[in-house]
Amino acid sequence: MRKTSQKFSQSHMLCKVALVAIMLVFQAMLGIGAGVLNAQTVKGTVISGSDNEPLIGASVMVQGTKTGAVTDLDGNFTIEAKNGQTLEVSYLGFITQKIKVTGSTINVTLNEDKQSLDEVVVVGYGVQKKKLVTGANINVKGDDIAKLNTSNPLQALQGQTPGMSIISTSGQPGSGLKVNIRGMGTVSGSDPLYIIDGVRGDIASLNPADIESIGVLKDAASAAIYGSQSANGVVLITTKSGKEGRAVVSFDGYVGWQNKPRSIDMLNASEYMTILDEAAINSGKNAYDWSKYKSIYDANGDLIDTDWVDQMFVKNAKTSSYNIGVNGGSKTANYAMTLGYMNQEGIVGGKDVSNYERYNFRVNSDWKVKDWLKVGEQISFIYTQNTGIAVGNAYNNTLRSAFNTSPLSPVYSDNNKYDSPFNDTSNSDWYNADGNPYGLMMTNNNNQTNAARFTGNVYAEIEPIKNLKYRTVVGYEYYASDYRSFTPLYQFSIYSYNTANRTSVNQNMGHNWQLTWTNTLSYDFKVKEHSFTALAGMESWRFDGVGVSASNATLKSGFADWNHAYVSNGTAATATDGLGASGAPSLSQRMVSYFGRVSWNWKETYMATATLRADASSKFARGNRWGYFPSVSAGWIVTNEKWVKPLLKVLDYAKVRASWGQVGNQNIGDLMFISPISTSGAYYNFGTSLGADGQSNYYGAYESRLSNENVKWETSEQLDFGLDLRLLGKLNVNIDWYKKTTKDWLLVKPIPGTAGTGAPYFNGGDVENTGIEIGLGWNDNIGRDFNYYVNVNGAYNKNKVGSIPTSDGIIHGTDGNGQLYDNSTEFYRCSNGEPIGYFWGYKTAGIFQNQKEINEWVAAGNGVLQGSSVKPGDVKYYDVNHDGTINDADKVNLGNGMPDFTYGFSLGFGYKGLDFSVTANGSVGNDIVQSYRNVGAKTANYTSAILQRWTGEGTSNKYPRVTETNVNYQFSDLFIQDGDFLRISNITLGYDFAKLLHQKFVSQARLYFQVQNAFTFTKYDGMDPEIGYGVNSWASGVDLGYYPRPRTFMVGLNLKF
């Protein structure tokens, strides 16, 4: 019985234990089950906020857990998460978003982090993590460039790249830009080097829609890898390539209407007549008897009053652009293709007078043939066609003639033809000197330039072992252009006519090609906690070209018009009759280079880079053919140090940088070290008695320039210190200080005129540029749907010439005659201790108000430029050296066309499908020489500023009295105006309707409105304060009738499928 009881007790205990175990397991299962029941499957899509394209490989994590997912080729993800948990969505180069789970579907839009530290950026012959870059570089996204809709990609960089000055040389369609990086460093051409997909190229005609990114290498340490070509900085352009994923088809197009941004207030007819009467009286003559000039009245007897400047402009000139693109790829291949068209009509004269068209095609592809072999190509074709008006000096400037023409002249005569006062004998004393600038523009502006550019780059990259890469790139470019112009018979005045008195045609044709072959070997490796990247390379470059030109005159009957204006239709038989032809091959250029770079970092905290490049150029004699260009740079990421941890709540990232390097400049012509032999004709002016052939024109050969085999490279040496900060995860700060010294300028050495030959090139002269640059950027989100950014930047530069080894220490500007007005003299120059290209003239001290003031001025020992004819109302010119005479010794620095300080800002926001942005740029410290009026012509019109002239004591202390002899218009500070400005360059408002369409195949359907050149705030009274024109490449800020940039209203559409 006891045994049975014991067995029962043991069994009972086992049952209890089992029951408890089962209950515990069940309880645990219930707990798990409850958790499972609370969790849910969350699905969603991650897309880019800039283009609504899916982000492949984006990370989706449940915050505080190890649960995660990665988006697929369509940007989709699936993850298990509870309501209330937070998903952290991140992607390289984009701002991370944190989103609370509130349902089973979450769609995420990530916005680009324009200052991402882990982003990989393009550097010379490679790429590098942005946070490890030790040089002074700027990178701009291609999407940011394309959104601004500029015809030239460089124009989109205005205000976005501190230290890079970009100034329009003209607002005419297809015109260029003057670009300086960290100040003017030479008088031999200051354009930077442009590298497109690893090969030098031309950015001006590049389609902005093709650009993935633009990088600007500003300091010598970054640019030294390009050696002798990089003294003016380097601009790296990377075009778009395909991405892994489905094929994406895109369309981007806009249409716009352009108008002149500002008007010039010229004198109307009655004001003009008053001024001419006053000028005559002040010159000792009688006022005009206007009643005898019958032609200044129309058929109704009303006074003719023509605003010639306004007449030259058209309203609502059209501009448009259309681009179709396809891109996509897989794990082994990707592709991108663009086909585009762009047209811009000119606001002066309209499309028949000033017009630019561009057709472009590009295809890029990359192929992973094997795990160790990649190949690819970038192929593009660009065709441009443009016409244009003259925008040169005082005698070659279409708009300037409109500033000078009398408002009393009509545009059209009674028979509705362009009025020509030439035959109006009633006005022979002055009227027939004026032409018809509008008629002349529409009649004698027959020209067209066609250009085609083919570029092809092919590469192969071999990786025989991990991280050892050999890359070879062959780049080829072919460029061909032709130009044709036609001059009809015309006569609008005694000065405005076809001087040859015959129709004529000119045709020019040329082509050139260049071939670049680059080979690089790179190796990335680690030694414990030290990381190294080594690069060695070799490059060869060749350029060849040829050009021909021909002219003919007196076109056949029925062929004397633009449509038939070809050399073959001329009838001239000799050079005297207008027949001509010339042609010669361009001298071939060659360069071979060897270069290397070693980069090191320790735990991505301390880093250093050293580069060396050796270049040999055919432009120099054998003894000076090689140039060597070294650089070193270092950086320290301070925030990786333990002692900085207390600051990390505010300071996310801090890096200090320092760099030094030397780069070169070879911007001179071919073979300038030799003494070439040229030919020329000698003309006997007294009949044909010279020679048995009865000809009076003979040709001979002569030495056109002295040789100098000691000519060598210009060298630019630069020291840079920089600081990069990121605070609060939102604010980025970049600061740089630099000192750049350029020496051994390539100059022409003055020699006596009796030498009988041209002056040789030599090395001499130096200039120093010092400055500071700062950039600030704030990027943030408010909630899931609202994001915004604000970027501000500025750059200060001081330019000072050191020593110019000429007898007078001066590089003289081109003679002023024809630049400002008749018989004007030199008005800009370079000299020791002054900035390059400063304006040089007389400084004024106001206006003589009465005779007593004149007497006291002279008694004090001051000179008077007007001599004994000086009268009240004339200008006081400072006698700087107090020698009692006003002459060139009294001329001083009056200002400079280059700014001291440039700045810009951009701001914008996005909310769901809505986006808004504003960009602006400006400058401080630049001056403008304004010379609209030919002061040698007494009947030339004036701007309304002359209404503030001196007419009696106390009436004006700035503008002198008017006279017919213009005794007060020697070049002085009266011609100088303050050119400071702030331009609101772009305002854009857009909305993406894609989500409203509920069409899966439409990822973007953005409609936008845009205003370009919206507002300009400036004291300058001209049409545009941004003036890059100057006769010499190192001069700018000269307004002789500047073609302004238009104000454009646009509507555009972006589609993606």
Range 535-553 average pLDDT? 95
3-state class (DSSP) for residue 978 = strand
Count of residues in the chain? 1057
**CA dist 885 to 108, 847, 880, 882, Å?**
78, 18, 9, 8
Order the strands of the 97-100 sheet from edge to edge: 68-70, 59-62, 86-90, 97-100
Q: State the Cα–Cα distance between residues 115 and 134, nearest whole angstrom.
A: 16
User: Looking at residue 421, what is its pLDDT?
Assistant: 65
Range 708-715 average pLDDT? 89
Count of other CB atoms within 10 angstroms of residue 466? 10
Q: State the Cα–Cα distance between residues 248 and 241, nearest whole angstrom.
A: 12
Task: Spell out the residues 6+ positions from residue 215 whose beta carbon is closer than 8 angstroms to its own.
Answer: 121, 122, 123, 137, 138, 139, 140, 235, 236, 238
Beta bridge partners of 927: 978
Q: Is residue 137 part of a domain?
A: yes
Answer yes or no: do 70 and 179 share one domain: no
Question: How are beta strands 901-911 and 892-896 bridged, if at all?
Answer: unpaired
Rg (C-alpha) for the chain, rounded Å, is 35
Answer yes or no: do 67 and 16 share one domain: yes
User: Looking at residue 233, what is its pLDDT?
Assistant: 94
Could you read off the pLDDT of 983-999 as tens digits, one per residue? Answer: 999 999 999 998 888 77
Tokens for 795, please give them.
Answer: 């750059």
Could you read off the pLDDT of 449-481 as tens digits, one per residue? Answer: 999 999 999 999 999 999 999 999 999 999 999
Answer yes or no: do 65 and 161 share one domain: no
Is it the case that residue 8 has pLDDT exceeding 70? no
Beta bridge partners of 343: 320, 357
Average pLDDT value for the chain: 89
Secondary structure tally for the chain: helices H, strands E: 9, 51
User: Looking at residue 34, what is its pLDDT?
Assistant: 38
Which of 157, 116, 147, 152 lies closest to 795 in space, CA to CA? Answer: 157
Burial bucket for residue 95 (CB in 10 Å: 0-12, 13-18, 19+): buried
Is it the case that residue 335 has pLDDT exceeding 80? yes
Is it the case that residue 1011 has pLDDT exceeding 60? yes
User: Looking at residue 551, what is its pLDDT?
Assistant: 95
User: Looking at residue 115, what is its pLDDT?
Assistant: 63
What ranges in 296-361 are assigned the alpha helix state H?
Answer: 308-312
Q: Is the CB of residue 746 less than 8 Å from the CB of residue 763?
A: yes
Q: State the Cα–Cα distance between residues 119 and 633, nearest whole angstrom.
A: 20
Domain count, the chain: 2
* Percentage with pLDDT > 90 across the chain: 64
Contacts 24+ apart (CB under 8 A), 883-887: 886/842, 887/863
Answer yes or no: do 152 and 84 share one domain: no
Count of other CB atoms within 10 angstroms of residue 948? 11
Q: Which of 23-32, 563-572, 888-897, 1013-1022 has the lowest mean pLDDT?
A: 23-32
Could you read off the pLDDT of 346-392 as tens digits, one per residue? Answer: 999 999 999 999 999 999 999 999 999 999 999 999 999 999 998 88
Q: Which residue has better confidence, 584 or 60?
A: 60
Beta bridge partners of 452: 383, 480
Range 288-313 average pLDDT? 90
Task: Spell out the residues 6+ positions from residue 678 whose beta carbon is closer than 8 angstroms to its own.
Answer: 701, 702, 703, 704
Of 213, 244, 275, which one is at a domain's C-terminal end? 244
Beta bridge partners of 62: 87
Which of the four pLDDT bands, split at 50, 70 and 90, describes residue 36?
A: very low
Q: Is residue 763 part of a domain?
A: no
Q: Is residue 61 part of a domain?
A: yes
Could you read off the pLDDT of 641-657 as tens digits, one per residue? Answer: 999 888 888 999 999 99
Could you read off the pLDDT of 385-395 as tens digits, one per residue? Answer: 999 998 887 77
Tokens for 730, please give them.
Answer: 């939102």
Task: Spell out the residues 6+ positions from residue 854 whose beta carbon is closer than 8 angstroms to its own.
Answer: 848, 864, 870, 871, 872
Cα 444 vs. chain centroid, distance in angstroms? 30
User: Looking at residue 419, what is its pLDDT?
Assistant: 81
Q: Is the CB of residue 844 less than 8 Å from the CB of residue 837?
A: no
Phi, psi at residue 496, to the nearest 5°?
A: -105, 90
Q: Is the CB of residue 615 less than 8 Å from the CB of residue 629?
A: yes
Which of 716, 706, 619, 623 lies closest to 671 in space, CA to CA? Answer: 619
User: Looking at residue 49, what is its pLDDT?
Assistant: 78
Q: Is residue 1016 part of a domain?
A: no
Answer yes or no: do 102 and 142 share one domain: no
Which of 152, 147, 163 lies closest to 50 in space, CA to CA? Answer: 147
Q: Is residue 839 part of a domain?
A: no
Answer yes or no: do 97 and 132 share one domain: no
Sign of CA dihedral 253, 257, 262, 264: positive
Q: Which helix (H) or strand (E) holds 962?
A: none
Which of 670, 667, 530, 556 lies closest to 191 in space, CA to CA? Answer: 667
Q: Is the CB of residue 674 less than 8 Å from the CB of residue 731?
A: no
Answer yes or no: do 127 and 189 share one domain: yes
Quote the domain boundaries for residue 12. 2-110
User: Looking at residue 458, what is its pLDDT?
Assistant: 97
Buried b (16+ CB within 10 A) or exposed e, 370-405: eeeebbbbbbbebbbbbbbbbbbbbeebbbbbbbbb
Could you read off the pLDDT of 119-177 as tens digits, one per residue? Answer: 888 999 999 999 999 999 999 999 999 999 999 999 999 999 999 999 998 999 999 89
Order the strands of the 39-48 sheet from edge to edge: 76-82, 39-48, 108-110
Q: Give the angle subtended at the CA of 367 by the CAs of 362 and 373, to the nearest 5°.
A: 135
Answer yes or no: do 83 and 184 share one domain: no
Range 950-955 average pLDDT? 96
**What are the strands, taking DSSP E only, across 49-107?**
59-62, 68-70, 76-82, 86-90, 97-100
Could you read off the pLDDT of 196-212 as tens digits, one per residue? Answer: 999 999 998 899 999 99
Range 659-677 average pLDDT? 86
Sign of CA dihedral 616, 618, 619, 620: positive
Q: Is residue 72 part of a domain?
A: yes
User: Looking at residue 1, what is its pLDDT?
Assistant: 42
User: Looking at residue 426, what is its pLDDT?
Assistant: 54
Task: Spell out the residues 6+ positions from residue 453 whose beta carbon is closer than 8 angstroms to its own.
Answer: 202, 205, 380, 381, 382, 383, 477, 478, 479
Q: State the Cα–Cα distance between residues 17 and 369, nearest whole angstrom.
A: 66
Could you read off the pLDDT of 66-96 as tens digits, one per residue? Answer: 888 889 878 899 998 888 888 888 887 788 8
Answer yes or no: do 76 and 125 share one domain: no
Which of the four pLDDT bands, split at 50, 70 and 90, describes residue 1012?
A: very high
Which of the four pLDDT bands, split at 50, 70 and 90, describes residue 515?
A: very high
Q: Which of 495-504, 575-584, 608-617, 694-703 has the lowest mean pLDDT?
A: 694-703
Answer yes or no: do 95 and 142 share one domain: no
Residue appearing with tokens 């033809």: 417
Could you read off the pLDDT of 220-229 as tens digits, one per residue? Answer: 999 999 999 9
Of 110, 132, 160, which one is at a domain's C-terminal end? 110
**Domain CATH code at residue 61:** 2.60.40.1120
Of 224, 244, 264, which one is at a domain's C-terminal end? 244
Q: State the Cα–Cα distance between residues 177 and 1051, nearest whole angstrom.
A: 26
User: Looking at residue 56, what is its pLDDT?
Assistant: 85
Question: What single-letter DSSP state applies at residue 28?
Answer: H
Range 712-736 average pLDDT? 94
pTM of the model: 0.87
Question: What single-letter DSSP state applies at residue 648?
Answer: T
Range 855-861 average pLDDT? 92
Q: Is residue 1024 part of a domain?
A: no
Q: State the Cα–Cα distance between residues 493 and 328, nearest whole angstrom.
A: 63
Is it the case that residue 685 has pLDDT exceeding 80? no
Answer yes or no: do 95 and 64 share one domain: yes
Q: Which residue has better confidence, 998 or 781?
A: 781
Task: Spell out the residues 6+ positions from residue 842 whose beta carbon is closer than 8 angstroms to its own.
Answer: 865, 877, 878, 886, 890, 891, 892, 970, 971, 972, 973
**Domain CATH code at residue 188:** 2.170.130.10
Q: Is residue 93 part of a domain?
A: yes
Could you read off the pLDDT of 912-942 as tens digits, one per residue? Answer: 999 999 999 999 999 999 999 888 788 899 9
Q: Is the CB of residue 673 less than 8 Å from the CB of residue 708?
A: yes
User: Looking at residue 686, what is its pLDDT?
Assistant: 54
User: Looking at residue 135, what is its pLDDT?
Assistant: 93
Answer yes or no: do 228 and 139 share one domain: yes
User: Looking at residue 997, what is its pLDDT?
Assistant: 83
Q: State the Cα–Cα distance between residues 680 and 123, nearest whole angstrom.
A: 50
User: Looking at residue 103, what is its pLDDT?
Assistant: 84
3-state class (DSSP) for residue 38 = helix
